[in-house]
Amino acid sequence: MIEITRETVSLLDQNDPLASFKEEFHLKTNSIYLDGNSLGLLSKRAEQSVLDVLNDWKEQGIDGWMGGKYPWFTLSEQLAEKLAVLVGAKPNEVIVTGSTTVNLHQLVATFFEPKPGKTKILADELTFPSDIYALQSQLKLKGLNPETELIQVRSQNGLTLEEDDIIAAMTEDVALILLPSVLYRSGQLLNIERLTQEAHKRNIPIGFDLCHSIGALPHELSKWGVDFAFWCNYKYVNAGPGGVGGLYVNQNHFSKTAGLSGWFGSNKESQFDMDHTFDGEQSAGGFQIGTPHMLSTAPLIGSLAIFEEATIEKVRTKSLSLTRLLMDLINQEMKDVFQVVNPLDDKRRGGHIALMHNDAARICKALKDNGIVPDFRSPNIIRLAPVALYNSYTDVYDAVQILSKIMKDKEYEKYENKREVIA
């Protein structure tokens, strides 16, 4: 293997078609941010769009709903058109609304229709805990016991899932399937198209949590026939802490009445008639519940404008190149120090690298004190996410050199091997 040097990676930066977008973001001096898979950084455009929405509120008051730079009444639909490009959906199949778990509750309340002999929900044991809490709650609301009715596909190695195991669990008693697109610890990317096809062969509706894939890689939800999906926008989409989420409903299901009906799911033309008979929008907009949160929606205006220019295809190409470089450098500098537990195959990998080490928690603390912002996941995983829009190839090289020094000098040993409150 040819040695990778700083000069080598600087050439990659010189030929990077996305290099200029780094200037769009607020980056700290002497710091390399590799935690965009938990919280994306603030862009200057997102900052400006928040100021614009605040100004409309200041200058127009109630008239901001229909006037101003970004009329609030239709902003969720307007942004959904741009967000639909990132998930490969028709514009009316996407809506900007709610939060990850609220949207999950909405979709499960809509699509989970248990019948005698068909009462189970299929998930997996590696998914994010909030998804499991929501599924348990929805089962209880239907008078069902989560301990018997929630099936969680087992992992053979505690890190990844075998798709054959998931398919084998698609039995006749399963009424709904919910899976992550990318596993949050290991970064494994599931084959959404294959799993959807297999679910539909068995007449089971299937949905996906896209939190760890949206903004990092392209999707083709409509083409694949996925029934529903949901996500946050504060990771790779850079919409800010607690930023508004999004959901997708395949157009084949527009006739369904939302399981949790609310005022903003009403037909826009009749919403203010104040009729007590619910008249839902025949689109993903019909699955909104409450009034859009304008101040947590506003950052998306600027963020999605950047994605329009960069394109998700170029973002994915660079993301894969960055994570490949990171793995190659780990192998070059610290071959026997860490176990790389994310998939090595580009087609199976999301946007982050996962390193296993028994001292992961305190290594992360040492990295932070050396200007590298990583992410820790219990019990022993370091996640590093070089983000295509604001990380350079040189960032990756420098971060690995710092990590290598920390390990050689055993600098991490001065820290307690225990996570902070927020890991």
Residue 191 CB coordination number (10 Å): 15
* 409 marked as part of a ligand binding site: no
Q: Is 352 annotated as a binding residue?
A: no
CB 350 within 8 A of CB 323: no
Torsion of Cα atoms, 22 then 25 then 30 then 33, to 10°: -90
Contact 179, 197 (CB under 8 A): no
- The H-or-E segment that residue 149 falls in is helix 146-149
Residue 291 marked ligand-binding? yes
Query: How many whole angstroms separate alpha carbon 13 and alpha carbon 142?
Result: 54
Say whether 280 sits in a helix, a strand or coil.
strand
Query: What is residue 358's three-state secondary structure?
Result: coil
Spatial contact of 349 and 342, defined as CB atoms under 8 Å apart = yes
Q: Chain-centre distance of CA 358, in angstroms? A: 27
Residue 209 assigned to a binding site? yes
Closest CA relative to residue 206, chosen from 219, 198, 193, 196:
196
Q: Which residues pair with 32 in a beta bridge?
A: 372
Structure tokens at 408: 């050689």
Residue 378 is assigned to a ligand binding site: no
What's the CA gap between 136 and 378, in Å, rounded?
A: 22
Largest Cα–Cα separation, the chain: 71
Q: Count CA atoms closer than 13 A to 305's CA, side-chain side.
A: 13
| 233-to-32, 46, 150, 393, 419 alpha-carbon distances in Å | 21, 12, 27, 24, 25
Tokens, residue 31: 């710091």
Please state, in angstroms and rounded to a whole number, the distance separating the CA atoms of residues 184 and 342: 10
Beta strands 375-377 and 381-384 are antiparallel
The per-residue DSSP string of 328-355 comes to HHHHHHHTTT-EE-S-SSGGGB-S-EEE
- Tokens representing 227? 């029934």
Strands (E) in 224-345, as ranges, are: 228-231, 246-249, 339-340
Residue 100 annotated as part of some ligand binding site: yes
The three-class DSSP label of residue 66 is coil
User: 277 a known binding residue?
Assistant: no
Please state the residue numbers annotated as binding site for pyridoxal 5'-phosphate.
Answer: 100-101, 128-131, 209, 212, 234, 263, 291
Please state the residue numbers annotated as binding site.
Answer: 100-101, 128-131, 209, 212, 234, 263, 291
